[in-house]
Amino acid sequence: MIPVYSPSVAAARGTVERYHEVRDLTEALASPLSPEDQTAQSMGDVSPTKWHRAHTTWFFETFLLPELGDYEVFHPAFGFLFNSYYEAVGARHARVERGVVTRPGCGEIGEYRAHVDRAMADLISEVVPQRADLAALVELGLHHEQQHQELLCMDIKHVFSRSVLHPAYQPPADRPLGVVPTLGWVPVDGGLVAIGHADDSFSFDNETPRHRSYVAPFEIADRLVTAGEWLAFMADGGYHDPGIWLSDGWATIVNERWSAPLYWEERDGEWWMHTLTGFRPVDPDEPVCHVSYYEADAFARWAGARLPTEAEWETVAAMAQAQVDEAEANLMASRVWHPCVAPPAPAGAITQLLGDVWEWTASPYTPYPGFVPAPGAVGEYNGKFMVNQMVLRGGCCVTPPGHVRTTYRNFFPASARWAFSGLRLARDGDAR
């Protein structure tokens, strides 16, 4: 499989230019936000913007800068404040209390970033060219920061949604308009397929090792499920029919009193939604977004279909690689900040595989056959989370440039819906 983003090792690993490009984007994403905006934490799963800025800096300071020899840490308490979950590194501040950390302030976080960036420039120039292991760790740190860039957008959206002012994070963007094409089904023969990352371009460890998996014949929808189709599900009593819900899903929607996707609000009989560019009516032709795995699974049952497995999704992505183009996808670089209407496409073409929304799959997040976590603290990056999570594929409208590929395995708990998550339908091959 040819990855969507395949920079050369020389261009992607160990260069000061690449490092600053990623780091500068984080600051650009934070720049529209006031110090008050950057300190708020609206729920336990959300982190303040300034914490994202500091934690990504802590990663480089902790795992790379000791190799510089004469490096002095910026502040001895920052290791406790900005460690996320690396038990091997030491104690850390409670995640649910990140919003009470008023100091350091945003300005001091900026000084921290500048301090580490100066030292990293020296490390990358002087030490990394002789150390392939450090070059790989620099690249891991940059992709880690890109993950937090996406999280920054997700989290500030949740923070702003709690305000009666409905503030916009970004000004309204020009977004593609149009009528969504009728949903079509694309048959896939299946068989013994190769799954997982294969070449020497970057991947996270959970994307490996590449292995063979059997996929039975199936069909997959040629586009994402839309908000209009979700409205039909709601109108038909989808949130009130226990027969289509998993037991834990039904308990969740009853306890949480869910009756629509996150950020939707009914006003005078019309559904509106909070977006990163402000509060506006729900567009029925756009992909539905901010639904949990439980909701996605229930919708699929209501629709007489199911969710694809991650092996099926990756098989389709390989089959449609000519249509899988990051430059054409609705990712962060498009600056739309929300899922868009599916583009017109020839019959049999599969659209929206990259961008718009992370697509829930039917697959639990477990290790691939032969997976072995890396030794040391870095091995905690993915492996320790391989339980009680579900896999999502494809990236979303706030996935940063160069951070999407068809083997990428994102994961969230089944009840999570503050991520930009949606769904695509599948069904067994004999369902025609």
DSSP string covering 175-187, please? ----PPPPP-EEE
Whole-Å CA distances, 28 to 25, 49, 53, 149, 333: 5, 12, 11, 10, 13
Contact 335, 277 (CB under 8 A): no
DSSP letters, 412-431, are E-TT--SSSEE---EEEGGG
Instruction: Count the neighbouring beta carbons within 10 Å of the beta carbon of residue 26.
Output: 21
Q: What pLDDT is stored for residue 323 in this prediction? A: 61
Omega within 30 of 0 (cis) for the link into 104:
yes
Please provide residue 287's backbone torsions phi and psi, each rounded to the nearest 5 degrees: -60, 140
- The C-alpha atoms of residue 254 and residue 239 are separated, in whole angstroms, by 9
Q: What pLDDT is stored for residue 431 in this prediction? A: 47
Q: What pLDDT is stored for residue 196 in this prediction? A: 97
Query: pTM for the whole thing?
Result: 0.94
Please provide residue 398's backbone torsions phi and psi, each rounded to the nearest 5 degrees: -120, 20
**Residue 63: closest CA among 11, 140, 129:** 140
- The C-alpha atoms of residue 402 and residue 354 are separated, in whole angstroms, by 12
- The C-alpha atoms of residue 218 and residue 306 are separated, in whole angstroms, by 11
Q: What pLDDT is stored for residue 4 in this prediction? A: 27
The sign of the dihedral angle between the CA atoms of 375, 377, 383, 384 is positive
Structure tokens given for 137: 């760790």
**Residue 260: closest CA among 225, 221, 292, 286:** 292
CA geometry: angle 204, 60, 196, nearest 5 deg = 5
Contact 332, 397 (CB under 8 A): yes
Q: What pLDDT is stored for residue 369 in this prediction? A: 96
Per residue in 304-350, pLDDT (tens digit) is 999 999 999 999 998 876 566 788 899 999 999 999 999 888 888 99
CA geometry: angle 374, 375, 380, nearest 5 deg = 65
- The C-alpha atoms of residue 83 and residue 74 are separated, in whole angstroms, by 14
H helix runs in 162-306, sequence order = 227-235, 247-256, 293-302
Burial of 294 (0-12, 13-18, 19+ CB in 10 A): buried
Instruction: Count the neighbouring beta carbons within 10 Å of the beta carbon of residue 363.
Output: 19
Residue for token pair 């998993």: 246
Q: What pLDDT is stored for residue 294 in this prediction? A: 98
Q: What pLDDT is stored for residue 385 in this prediction? A: 85
Contact 289, 338 (CB under 8 A): yes
- The C-alpha atoms of residue 258 and residue 291 are separated, in whole angstroms, by 10
- The C-alpha atoms of residue 326 and residue 9 are separated, in whole angstroms, by 19
Contact 101, 7 (CB under 8 A): no
Angle between helices 227-235 and 293-302 (to 10 degrees): 70
Pairing of strands 421-422, 426-428: unpaired
Contact 414, 293 (CB under 8 A): yes
Per residue in 365-402, pLDDT (tens digit) is 999 999 988 777 777 667 788 899 999 999 999 999 99
Q: Say how many residues make up the chain.
A: 432
Burial of 268 (0-12, 13-18, 19+ CB in 10 A): exposed
- The C-alpha atoms of residue 9 and residue 136 are separated, in whole angstroms, by 9
Whole-Å CA distances, 292 to 15, 121, 191, 338, 403: 39, 41, 30, 17, 23
- Which residues of the chain carry a pLDDT beneath 70? 1-14, 321-324, 380-381, 430-432
